[in-house]
Amino acid sequence: MTGQYWRGALEDEGMQDEHGFIWRAMLDMVDVPLSGRRVLDVGCNRGGFLRLLVDHAGIGSGFGYDPAPGAIEDARHLAGTRPLAFEVADTVPEHWSGFDVAFSHEVLYVLHDLASHAAAMFAALAAGGSYFATIGVHADSPLMVGWHGEKAGELDLPGPYRLEQVADIFENVGFNVAVGRLPFRFVPVHAHRSDSHSDATLSSWLDYYYRDKVMFRFTKTDRSP
């Protein structure tokens, strides 16, 4: 993270704009009702995903947290009159709980203490609630293994985690774990022309999106962690 933002104000804005096709694939995969529900977005950045959920899925209320103060300030401004709340935080704020559904996109791979995150999410969800976590940066993703090797020191990254590790950690705190590949349609070419993977072939990117980028569904069960 750089100061008030993850990359910088303009870079974070561009990153959110580029995520639109990913967010749509995430929503196409969700298998629980969203209308009227209380929703948490982990690592919400500038709040774009929660705005999408209000505008197109009719959620009842949305809450997002992120450690980048500038991004959260932008999220509050961009929310307008939508029923959204945002906090600067590294984990679920203590006074937030009872969520029906939670989401994260490329958050798990940056967390050094994944077990603590899993426990915090278990506590934050209502009984029967689901946490949908999308991850493409993992040890089973060839394109991202190379990127991780280049960026781990600069970004202070753990891992990379194996998908089995992620599943085991969340199962150990009491979640019922399922996983699937995201149902992408078209992948924008321009989004990958100027980033840190610009030397990768289009076929590598297609393998990444259609094979390696997955969504976990962690469902809170009745058994205690």
Of the pLDDT bands very low, low, confident and very high (cuts 50, 70, 90), residue 196 is: low
* Overall pTM surpassing 0.85 (yes/no): yes
In-domain check, residue 3: no
What pLDDT, on a 0 to 100 scale, did the predictor assign at position 19?
78
- Domain count for the chain, please give it: 1
pLDDT of 194 higher than 80: no
d(CA 134, CA 180): 10
From the list 78, 128, 134, the residue with the least C-alpha distance to 103 is 134
The CATH number of the domain holding residue 57 is 3.40.50.150
pLDDT of 178 higher than 70: yes
Range of the domain at 122: 9-220
What pLDDT, on a 0 to 100 scale, did the predictor assign at position 224?
46
In-domain check, residue 13: yes
pLDDT of 122 higher than 90: yes
Of the two residues 7 and 80, the one the predictor is more confident about is: 80
